Amino acid sequence: MFDLNNQGQKLYQKALKLIPGGTQLLSKRPEMFLPEQWPSYYSKCKGVEVWDLEGNRYIDMTICGVGACTLGYADFDVDRAVVEAIKSGNMCTLNVPEEIELAELLCEIHPWADMVRYARTGGEAMTIAIRIARAAMGKEKILFCGYHGWHDWYLSANLANDKALDGQLLPGLKPAGVPRGLKKTSIPFRYNNLEEFKNLISKYNKKISAVVMEPVRNYWPEKNFLEGIRQITKEKDIPLIFDEVTSCLRMTSGGIHLKVGIEPDIAVFAKALGNGYPMAAIIGKSKFMNAAQKTFISSTYWTDKIGPAAALATLKKHKKYNVSSHLIFIGSLVQEGWRKLAKKYELDIEITGIPPLSHWEIKTKDSQLTHTLIVKRMLEKGFLTSKAFYSTYAHTEEHVNSYLKTLDNVLRELIPYIKEGTINKLYQGTIAHTGFRRLI
């Protein structure tokens, strides 16, 4: 079934000539998984199943729509709401009443928030939040931690010093095309480093418009880290913006900040909010959100019906079935499975991430080569895999068991070579890329 000359790869070679970078999203580039061999394109997906262009079926045990589909692919209830939206007309001169129902629901789930604006993607929604904060505060500087998208305000951090984003989620991003005038307007700090944050607050004191961060990503906050940030931003009256583009709808049916018990001034949701349909929300305290009126934030397709209809259906289903507890359960099973396999084969591995956004890495000198080969073997056996696993409501214990059993068989074959340091005997192809550095 698995063909190295697959149609997807042929199409990708064509794409590389027509589309700079081949795809619109780094995380969907085949080089990130299995260069020259990844199926690359799908003809259909449903639940956790994916069919490539030849009709081969895979179980998705990797990033499941880059984290967009916590309910699984083509969820019946969300699709039904979207089909209804399409039937009643997706775009109109008049506005979409679902926007108000969604705003009420988001503020009910997050009682600290009073107002909501909408966008359709994570990076643009973050840019709106930054604009609102700057308009509210009338200052330029942003202190941030982690990855927040491709926009100028964020990439400008690398103008000052191209090491500035090191230690952040995606180091190595190049700021070509970003005006040099933005130099030193966005300043990074590291997660779980309150001292560094305090120093930056002292240094830029009266010039800061916002503090921007994911409340939780690869690691849980250390004691007093988020509390410290919240206390300082409150004292200084600096808006604290939580980027929940990826963390929303994983540990709760809302933001992950509900779990850690720290309330921001603005929070941003995207990705999973529409379960695969573009939808993003910026929620916040009216004290800051009203500043959206002091500036100009406006776009035609932020008003379509599909987005709010999909988000309402997603949130309601998520709450009704307590989807996050399933995501945690499935993610924990996978993490536990990796741990057991590591023990069985005496492998040094590192596991990071909350259970619904799990990552693992084998710690050898040939780690990336080993993972590339694992992806290849797993693909041959019908699984889409990588070093990341994002759980969905459509994953069952059976999927996890069959994935772990297959991974066990693959590791059994590879382990002598891993131990001898001769894994290159089994794979001479191109090694999967690890981040931005190799691709831009």
Ligand X SMILES: Cc1ncc(COP(=O)(O)O)c(C=O)c1O
130 Cβ contact list (under 8 Å, min separation 6)? 142, 153, 209, 210, 212, 241
* C-alpha–C-alpha distance, residues 154 and 177, integer Å: 13
Among 245, 281, 362, 418, binds ligand X (CB under 6 A): 245
Is residue 270 part of the contact set for ligand X (CB under 6 A)? yes
Number of residues that bind ligand X (CB under 6 A): 13
Structural contact between residues 381 and 361, judged by C-beta atoms closer than 8 angstroms:
no
* C-alpha–C-alpha distance, residues 269 and 281, integer Å: 5
Instruction: Tell me how far, at minimum, the Cβ of 71 lies from ligand X, in Å.
Output: 17
Instruction: Tell me how far, at minimum, the Cβ of 382 lies from ligand X, in Å.
Output: 27
205 Cβ contact list (under 8 Å, min separation 6)? 236
Please give the radius of gyration of the chain, using alpha carbons only, rounded to the nearest integer.
22
Strands 49-52 and 42-46: what pairing?
Answer: antiparallel
Is residue 257 part of the contact set for ligand X (CB under 6 A)? no
Instruction: Tell me how far, at minimum, the Cβ of 348 lies from ligand X, in Å.
Output: 28
Near ligand X by CB under 6 A, which window of 141-149, 320-328, 369-377, 381-389? Answer: 141-149
Structure tokens belonging to residue 307: 């987005």
Q: What one-character DSSP code corresponds to residue 164?
A: T
* Cβ-proximal residue to ligand X, closest one: 122
Which residues, numbered 271-290, are part of the site for ligand X (CB under 6 A)?
271
Among 38, 147, 360, 389, binds ligand X (CB under 6 A): 147
* C-alpha–C-alpha distance, residues 203 and 364, integer Å: 41
Q: Which burial class, exposed, middle or buried, applies to 33 when counting CB atoms under 10 A from its CB (0-12, 13-18, 19+)?
A: buried
User: Comparing C-alpha atoms, which of 340, 285, 306 is closest to residue 120?
Assistant: 306
Instruction: Tell me how far, at minimum, the Cβ of 125 lies from ligand X, in Å.
Output: 8
Q: Which residues pair with 143 in a beta bridge?
A: 187, 211
Which residues, numbered 189-218, are part of the site for ligand X (CB under 6 A)?
214
Among 9, 185, 246, 370, binds ligand X (CB under 6 A): 246
Taking residues 93 to 132 in sequence order and writing x for each that binds ligand X by CB under 6 A, - otherwise, the string is ----------------------------xxx--x------
Taking residues 45 to 84 in sequence order and writing x for each that binds ligand X by CB under 6 A, - otherwise, the string is ----------------------------------------
Which residues, numbered 380-399, are part of the site for ligand X (CB under 6 A)?
none
Q: Is 123 helix (H, G, I), strand (E, B) or coil?
A: helix
Among 31, 75, 99, 243, binds ligand X (CB under 6 A): 243
Shorter beta-carbon distance to ligand X: residue 214 or 263: 214
Shorter beta-carbon distance to ligand X: residue 341 or 354: 354
Near ligand X by CB under 6 A, which window of 133-141, 147-155, 200-208, 405-413? Answer: 147-155
Instruction: Tell me how far, at minimum, the Cβ of 50 lies from ligand X, in Å.
Output: 20
Structural contact between residues 114 and 107, judged by C-beta atoms closer than 8 angstroms:
yes
Cα distances (angstroms) measured from residue 394 to each of 80, 215, 391: 17, 26, 8
Instruction: Tell me how far, at minimum, the Cβ of 258 lies from ligand X, in Å.
Output: 17
Helix and strand numbers, DSSP H then E, in the chain = 14, 14
Binding site for ligand X (CB under 6 A): 121-123, 126, 147-149, 214, 243, 245-246, 270-271
